[in-house]
């Protein structure tokens, strides 16, 4: 009756051997292809470094003006622009400017990459139910796997630094981009699509003229979600050497520096709110034509 | 117009069965398997059964039926938004069913244009950009497309609304955009799928008038789907009545009203305002010695209602019905006309009247 009270598990030796074999396999793979893969990602690294250099080396008033200009361009709302200004000034005043700029440049590159990869995958997924069935579980894994876990293979492959951090963040942040692009396109009104067909649209014309514009509000929601998730992940990615607001937070955890933690945490909240409000306001402005309704 | 040598639309032996293995059941349906049996035994739905319709060029062909009769399915076979299970759809002599994807796209761009029940406008585009959508898809350069689109926007009465978005417009105005979009294509075939069903009655009448006026100059081959018999009778040069996927009667409005093919059609016709449909030929009696028309004349082809309007203004007595050359072909009086309006079968006058109508 022992099997009844104790789960009949694999015996210790076999289990150890199994884990060892997998680890060995991955290590061999890393040794063989690590350099190639690193080479493959080196353009990304240059891009990251350039973005970070721009954000940290440009004088703060100029950066502030640029951010405010973007906020105004996207939202056309003085309220949002003013709260951006206040947040940025507070961050600078409490001496978190450089870390914040590093984090923003990281988020910027991550979001760009997520959009560039996520939208095409989402489009393909919306066109094939089979692909959707394949991709969906992969996205589930990406979203639910504890993020620390996939830091391990990334670090083994690429070492510690910006690029592995970037990859970890993108893996974590890209699922909503893909999912909402797919959903947005699938939700496009069938009647309108039929009309596009009836006028002889090619599939590219349908995508460009009908599906993407009508899916845009949903896609914008996806971008917004991606930014938020990237921000959350940036802190965790600081464990593998991503610089920015995550590093002081990590230090604060290790040394129980309450105030340091809370200040940097609030800075993250601050830029999260900026990103969120600005991107949402932009998304809303894109669908202005929906708001004015015939009385 | 592009349709000078247009050969009309011919639908031959068209079958549509919905289901995973549709082709296997066509033969059985041909041999008399009923819609109910097909559904019960094989889980397939019979959409259309042995449809044969010839639509001459330049005419308005109305296809009438209640919901579920297959009328929207039928119209989608003409531009192959739905693939048939068997049969031919010849548009200008070319079988649409046999086209490959590229040919079909070209065909849809240049030979057909469609107006939809739910308008199906692009919500993110303004009236102008919606109207020129078909031209844009064809690859017409922007400046020329804008020219053409503006002309049609004006023609359907939307001048000044070019930069409005669809949801700023009322239903009737949105459908005008739908119509302008279709007309801007200048395709010989215009498909209208319950185009006016979503509009309220006054706007619907208004849009029917717009269509009839336009048709006088554009002379396109129009296929108009409706569930409203009054609309069918008003618009249709030819009418086909569809029920459970089968055509149960085809003919002119006179044929339908005066000689319904079965009780189903007769039931429909009962509710129709006959005065607006039935023409005086169906009522008049042959001119005889002893009848002395009072000098007024009514041209052949006048509806009873219009004839009564003429007679009501004049003195009592018989009025001559004249053919285009001015020759008297019959006489009618108020009593006969009134009788024809309230009787549900045959002409108010005589058997003779009906035969004159069919000869005309």
Query: CB neighbours of B242 closer than 8 A, spacing ≥ 6?
Result: B63, B64, B65, B69, B70, B71, B74, B248
First to last CA, chain B: 30
Q: A200–B109: do the CB atoms touch at under 8 Å?
A: yes
- Chain A partners of B170 at a C-beta cutoff of 8 Å? 294
CATH architecture for segment(s) A45-294: Orthogonal Bundle (1.10)
Is residue B249 within a helix (H) or strand (E), and if so which, with residue range? strand B246-251
What burial class does residue A35 get, using C-beta atoms within 10 Å of its C-beta: 0-12 exposed, 13-18 middle, 19+ buried? Answer: exposed
CA distance B120 to chain A (A): 5
Contact B45, B18 (CB under 8 A): yes
Q: Please report the sign of the dihedral spanned by the C-alpha atoms of residue B282, residue B287, residue B293, residue B299.
A: positive
DSSP string over A182-205: HHHHHTS-HHHHHHHHHTT--HHH
Please state, rounded to an integer, the average pLDDT across all residues of chain B. Answer: 86
Per residue in B237-263, pLDDT (tens digit) is: 999 999 989 999 999 988 888 888 899
Q: B120–A209: do the CB atoms touch at under 8 Å?
A: no
Per residue in B138-164, pLDDT (tens digit) is: 999 999 999 999 999 999 999 999 999
Q: A199–B81: do the CB atoms touch at under 8 Å?
A: no
* DSSP letter (8 states) at residue B303: B
A213 touches chain B (CB under 8 A): yes
CA distance B81 to chain A (A): 7
Tokens of B50: 């042995």
Report how far residue A216's alpha carbon sits from residue A212's, in angstroms, rounded to the nearest whole number.
Answer: 6
Residue B318 confidence (pLDDT): 79
CA distance A24 to chain B (A): 50
Report how far residue B64's alpha carbon sits from residue B236's, in angstroms, rounded to the nearest whole number.
Answer: 10
Q: Give me the residues of chain A with pLDDT under 70, please.
A: 288-295
Per residue in A60-111, pLDDT (tens digit) is: 999 999 999 999 999 889 999 999 999 999 999 999 999 999 999 999 999 9
Picking from A169, A151, A57, the residue whose alpha carbon sits closest to that of residue A108 is A169
Q: For testing the chain B interface, which of A200, A286, A288, A292 should be mutated: the one with the most B CBs within 10 Å?
A: A200
φ, ψ of residue B209 to 5 degrees: the values are -60, -45
Q: B113–A199: do the CB atoms touch at under 8 Å?
A: yes
Q: B109–A202: do the CB atoms touch at under 8 Å?
A: no
Per residue in B15-33, pLDDT (tens digit) is: 999 998 888 889 888 888 8
A208 touches chain B (CB under 8 A): no
Tokens of B223: 């296929």
Torsion angle in degrees (nearest 10) through CA of B193, B197, B202, B204: 0
A205 touches chain B (CB under 8 A): yes
φ, ψ of residue B192 to 5 degrees: the values are -120, 105
For strands B189-193 and B45-55, give the pairing: unpaired
Picking from A201, A205, A218, A204, the residue whose alpha carbon sits closest to that of residue A284 is A218
For chain A, the domains span 45-294
How many residues in chain A?
A: 295
- Chain B partners of A293 at a C-beta cutoff of 8 Å? 167-168
Point out the residue among B113, B120, B165 whose CB comes nearest to the CB of A192.
B120
CA distance A216 to chain B (A): 10
Minimum mean pLDDT range among A13-22, A228-237, B198-207, B272-281: B272-281
Q: A202–B105: do the CB atoms touch at under 8 Å?
A: yes
Tokens of B153: 């926007």
Which chain B residue's Cα is nearest to A189?
Answer: B120
Helix (H, G, I), strand (E, B) or coil at B246: strand
- Chain A partners of B185 at a C-beta cutoff of 8 Å? 199
Q: B124–A289: do the CB atoms touch at under 8 Å?
A: yes
Picking from B263, B279, B262, the residue whose alpha carbon sits closest to that of residue B323 is B279
Longest dimension (CA), chain A: 76
Q: B293 falls in which pLDDT band (50, 70, 90)?
A: low
Report how far residue A284's alpha carbon sits from residue A279's, in angstroms, rounded to the nearest whole number.
Answer: 9
Residue A225 confidence (pLDDT): 93
Q: B132 falls in which pLDDT band (50, 70, 90)?
A: very high
φ, ψ of residue B16 to 5 degrees: the values are -135, 120
Report how far residue B117's alpha carbon sits from residue B131's, in angstroms, rounded to the nearest whole number.
Answer: 17
DSSP string over B315-353: -SS-EEEE-TTS-EEEEE-HHHHHHHHH-SSS-SS-HHH
φ, ψ of residue B111 to 5 degrees: the values are -105, -25
CA distance B313 to chain A (A): 44
Contact B60, B236 (CB under 8 A): yes
A214 touches chain B (CB under 8 A): yes
Residue B226 C-alpha from the chain's centroid: 8
Determine if the pTM surpasses 0.90: no
Q: B4 falls in which pLDDT band (50, 70, 90)?
A: low
Report how far residue A270's alpha carbon sits from residue A261's, in angstroms, rounded to the nearest whole number.
Answer: 14
Report how far residue A219's alpha carbon sits from residue A123's, in angstroms, rounded to the nearest whole number.
Answer: 11
- Chain B partners of A218 at a C-beta cutoff of 8 Å? none
Residue B297 confidence (pLDDT): 81
Tokens of B157: 């009465």
A199 touches chain B (CB under 8 A): yes
Strand-pair partners of B189: B112, B221
Report how far residue A143's alpha carbon sits from residue A175's, in angstroms, rounded to the nearest whole number.
Answer: 7
Q: For testing the chain A interface, which of B131, B132, B165 should be mutated: the one with the most A CBs within 10 Å?
A: B165
Contact A234, A242 (CB under 8 A): yes
Residue B350 confidence (pLDDT): 39
φ, ψ of residue B329 to 5 degrees: the values are -110, -5
Per residue in B305-340, pLDDT (tens digit) is: 888 888 888 777 778 888 888 788 888 888 888 888
**Number of residue pairs across A and B with CB atoms under 8 Å?**
77
Picking from B76, B87, B157, the residue whose alpha carbon sits closest to that of residue B112 is B76
- Chain B partners of A196 at a C-beta cutoff of 8 Å? 133, 137
Picking from B115, B63, B8, B79, the residue whose alpha carbon sits closest to that of residue B239 is B63
Which chain A residue's Cα is nearest to B178?
Answer: A195
Contact A102, A55 (CB under 8 A): yes
Q: A residues 81-100 near B, CB within 8 Å?
A: none
Tokens of B261: 């093919």
A200 touches chain B (CB under 8 A): yes
Tokens of B158: 């939307």
Count of Cβ atoms closer than 10 Å to residue A140 Cβ: 11
Picking from B132, B122, B11, the residue whose alpha carbon sits closest to that of residue B74 is B11
φ, ψ of residue B244 to 5 degrees: the values are 50, 40
């Amino acid at each position: 009756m022992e099997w009844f009270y104790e789960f009949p598990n694999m015996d210790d030796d076999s289990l150890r051997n199994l884990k060892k074999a997998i680890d060995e396999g991955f290590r061999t793979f890393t040794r063989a292809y690590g350099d190639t893969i690193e080479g493959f990602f080196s353009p990304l690294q240059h891009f990251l470094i350039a973005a970070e250099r721009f954000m940290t080396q440009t004088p703060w008033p100029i950066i502030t003006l640029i951010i405010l200009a973007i906020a105004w361009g996207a939202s056309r709302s003085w309220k949002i622009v003013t709260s951006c200004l206040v947040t940025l000034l507070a961050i600078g005043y409490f001496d978190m400017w450089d870390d914040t700029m590093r984090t923003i440049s990281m988020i910027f590159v991550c979001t760009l990459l997520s959009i560039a990869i996520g939208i095409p995958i989402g489009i393909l997924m919306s066109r094939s139910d089979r692909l959707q069935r394949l991709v969906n579980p992969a996205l589930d894994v990406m979203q639910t796997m504890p993020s620390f876990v996939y830091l391990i293979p990334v670090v083994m492959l690429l070492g510690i630094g910006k690029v592995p951090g970037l990859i970890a963040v993108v893996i974590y942040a890209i699922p909503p981009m893909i999912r909402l692009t797919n959903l947005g396109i699938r939700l496009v009104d069938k009647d309108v699509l039929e009309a596009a067909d009836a006028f002889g649209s090619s599939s590219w014309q349908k995508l460009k003229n009908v599906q993407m514009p009508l899916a845009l509000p949903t896609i914008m929601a996806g971008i917004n979600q991606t930014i938020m998730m990237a921000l959350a992940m940036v802190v965790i990615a600081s464990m593998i050497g991503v610089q920015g607001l995550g590093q002081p937070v990590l230090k604060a955890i290790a040394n129980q520096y309450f105030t340091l933690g809370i200040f940097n945490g609030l800075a993250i909240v601050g830029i999260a709110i900026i990103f969120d409000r600005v991107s949402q306001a932009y998304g809303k402005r894109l669908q202005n034509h929906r708001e004015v309704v015939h009385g | 117009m592009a349709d000078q040598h247009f050969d009309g639309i011919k639908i031959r032996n068209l079958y549509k069965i919905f289901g995973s293995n549709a082709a296997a059941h066509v033969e059985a349906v041909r041999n008399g398997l009923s819609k109910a049996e097909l559904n019960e035994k094989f889980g397939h739905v019979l959409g259309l059964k042995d449809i044969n319709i010839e639509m001459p060029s330049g005419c308005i062909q109305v296809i009438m039926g209640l919901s579920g009769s297959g009328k929207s399915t039928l119209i989608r076979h003409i531009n192959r938004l739905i693939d048939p299970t068997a049969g031919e759809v010849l548009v200008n002599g070319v079988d649409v069913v046999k086209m490959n994807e590229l040919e079909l796209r070209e065909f849809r761009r240049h030979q057909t244009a469609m107006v939809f029940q739910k308008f199906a406008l692009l919500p993110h585009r303004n009236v102008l950009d919606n109207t020129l959508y078909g031209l844009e898809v064809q690859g017409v350069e922007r400046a020329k497309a804008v020219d053409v689109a503006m002309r049609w926007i004006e023609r359907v009465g939307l001048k000044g609304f070019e930069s409005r978005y669809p949801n700023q417009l009322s239903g009737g105005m949105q459908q005008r955009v739908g119509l302008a979009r279709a007309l801007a294509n200048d395709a010989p075939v215009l498909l209208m799928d319950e185009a006016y069903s979503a509009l309220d009655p006054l706007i619907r009448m208004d849009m029917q008038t717009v269509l009839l006026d336009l048709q006088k100059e554009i002379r396109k081959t129009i296929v108009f789907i409706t569930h409203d018999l009054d609309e069918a009778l008003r618009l249709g040069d030819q009418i086909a009545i569809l029920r459970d996927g089968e055509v149960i009667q085809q003919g002119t409005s006179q044929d339908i009203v005066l000689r319904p093919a079965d009780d189903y059609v007769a039931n429909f016709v009962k509710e129709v305002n006959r005065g607006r449909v039935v023409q005086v030929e169906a009522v008049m009696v042959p001119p005889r010695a002893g009848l002395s028309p009072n000098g007024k004349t009514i041209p052949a082809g006048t509806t009873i209602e219009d004839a009564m309007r003429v007679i009501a203004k004049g003195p009592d007595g018989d009025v001559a019905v004249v053919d285009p050359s001015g020759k008297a072909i019959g006489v009618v009086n108020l009593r006969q006309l009134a009788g024809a309006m309230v009787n549900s079968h045959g002409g108010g006058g005589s058997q003779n009247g009906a035969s004159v109508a069919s000869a005309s």
